A and B are shown apart, each in its own frame.
Chain A
Amino acid sequence: MVIKVEGVKPGFFRRVANHCIAIILALLEAIFPSRITVRYPKERRKLPDNFRGMLQFDIKKCISCSQCAFICPANAIKMMPAPNGKYYPSIDYTRCIFCHFCVDTCPRGAWIPTKFMDTAYPTLEEMFLSTSKLLEPPELVLREDKAIAELKADASDMFLVKEKKVEKVA
């Protein structure tokens, strides 16, 4: 039930051996490097399908129940009136914490998660996305990535596997 852990102060020869082991290990790493950097923005990380990114709205399924606005922990969803008289949600992305409680709440499944995690807006006011902006995925001004990197782990090492493919994000 109890494992005894002891830090033994090494003797002289053990210390010299530890010095040599550390230097040789670092030399081997320097000569045969194993790098795990994703060269963003030329490469993108492969994201799983249940990734919690920005949201897209399917207006045909919404019944205006406001359950998503009620449950949001950060009060980022506000119901705004539309020209046809009904109320639909809009997201304030300066508050959203990407917890996807709203996706789990909607009884009709009107919130669709996408894999966007890196959009940029010039001003803070633009980050309040009204309902009409949520119907389509965010507008792609520049897409620089040419490859996908996936972090794979096998019994001895972890490494990045890169393939030249552009991932479908939305």
Chain B
Amino acid sequence: MVYLIPESLFELFKQEMVSIPIIDPIIKKLLEIPVLNVIVAFIFWKKVFAVLVAPGLLTILLILLIIIWLERKITARVQWRYGPLEISKPIGGVIQPLADGIRYLFQEVIVHKDAHRPYFLQFPLLSFIPVLLPILVIPAGAVYAIQTPYAVPIIVGLITLIPMVIIALGWASNSRYAYLGVLRETFMYFGYEVAFIIAVIAMLIMYGTGDAFRITEAQRGIVGAVLNPLACIVFLVTSAMATSRLPFDIPEADQEVVFGPFVEYTGIVFGIVMTLAYEKLYLLGLLFSILFLGGWNGPYIPPLGDLSGVIWLLIKTVIFMTFLVFLRSVYPRFRVDQALKLGWSQLLCISFIALGLAIVVKVGGLM
């Protein structure tokens, strides 16, 4: 009886394994070892593979490493200097963010006596919940966890929870500059949310469904960016506002409110809150690739098997993230009232026009 349960689970896992032809021989060998085969089959089970490896936790960590390095390198190239080059010179200093993370591990985490201690320390960790949950419904080719016709609304709903965490962090810090930063974060949150949601609704109307698989199928001929360029522009600008990319990094302005809500954090907790914005950028990048760039459409790469869809999706996400991160070297910062005016007058108008365009295209029967 004790051996029956792992046997039935093992059969369940083996039916839905991710097939990657290039490492198939190794997997076949590992599946013959008695206890290890259950663990390997569990990791390569499609649902768990999507959440743990790709496009889940491991990929998030790898993309964090790459995108922070890319931001510093591209900004340095524009500014007539080299960027990080000391740690691993032959490969261009790529593991610099890893070195920074290890240094944060050795620094002291200071909790000052005015802070509300439970929220101050626990909210940075709880922030991973709204970041990792959308991965359940984001498919990447044949690797997916849950297929549901409500995928895109679920993603949008969970992404809008992340600013709550930041507001709670700043409030728990109980300091004057954190308070100013929290006010600015709240204002920015109201500024971009409506235009963002209307742009996403416009694309949903145009495709007629919220299921990621059918959206990607519908983009075999023309990509979404060409079908509705106005919604694409609104999505770009609101993603910049949502993730505090320049010209909208108002809540964490270094020169005005000295890092805003994150001013009192040190040590490894500081490392976690700094990567929060990049993880939100990753999620918005995945959504952008699915809605506007054709998802995982691309030539099939035989040696990678099921992973080829994943690679195409990640390439498109990285291109989107790189463009937003590159804007750091071009623009200064807006003022909070100017950004709010932009969000509520110009972006709202353009998103309504995009909605109208989507309705016209759908009713006219072109899709």
Contact = CB atoms under 8 A, between A and B. Distances in A.
Direct contact of A and B (CB under 8 A): yes
B353 to A, nearest CB: 16
Contacts of B326: 26-27, 30
Contacts of A33: 77-78, 80
Interface string A131-165: 00000000000000000000000000000000000
Contact of B329 (A26, A34, A39): A26
Interface of A: 22-23, 26-27, 29-30, 33-37, 39
A33 B81 CA distance: 8
Interface in B56-88: 74, 77-78, 80-82
Contacts of B327: 23
Given A35-B82, A37-B82, A30 B77 contact: yes
Contacts, number: 30
Given A30-B326, A33-B77, A35-B81, 7 more contacts: A23-B327, A26-B326, A26-B330, A35-B77, A35-B82, A36-B80, A37-B82
29 contacts: A22-B330, A22-B331, A23-B327, A23-B330, A26-B78, A26-B326, A26-B329, A26-B330, A27-B326, A29-B77, A29-B78, A30-B74, A30-B77, A30-B78, A30-B326, A30-B329, A33-B77, A33-B78, A33-B80, A34-B80, A35-B77, A35-B80, A35-B81, A35-B82, A36-B80, A36-B81, A37-B80, A37-B81, A39-B82
Instruction: Report which residue of B82, B327, B330 has the largest number of chain A beta carbons within 10 angstroms of its beta carbon.
Output: B330
Task: For the complex of A and B, list the 5 residue pairs with the smallest distance between their C-beta atoms, beginning with the closest.
Answer: A33-B77, A29-B78, A26-B330, A30-B77, A30-B78
A22 B327 CA distance: 10
A37 B74 CA distance: 15
A34 B80 CA distance: 6
Contacts of B331: 22
Interface string B323-355: 000110111000000000000000000000000
A37 B82 CA distance: 7
B356 to A, nearest CB: 21
Contacts of B77: 29-30, 33, 35
A36 B82 CA distance: 9
A112 to B, nearest CB: 36
A35 B83 CA distance: 11
Contacts of A22: 330-331
Contacts of B80: 33-37
Instruction: Report which residue of A26, A34, A36 has the largest number of chain B beta carbons within 10 angstroms of its beta carbon.
Output: A26
A23 B82 CA distance: 20
A33 B77 CA distance: 6
A35 B81 CA distance: 5
Instruction: Report which residue of A36, A37, A39 has the largest number of chain B beta carbons within 10 angstroms of its beta carbon.
Output: A37
Nearest to A32: B77
Nearest to A36: B80
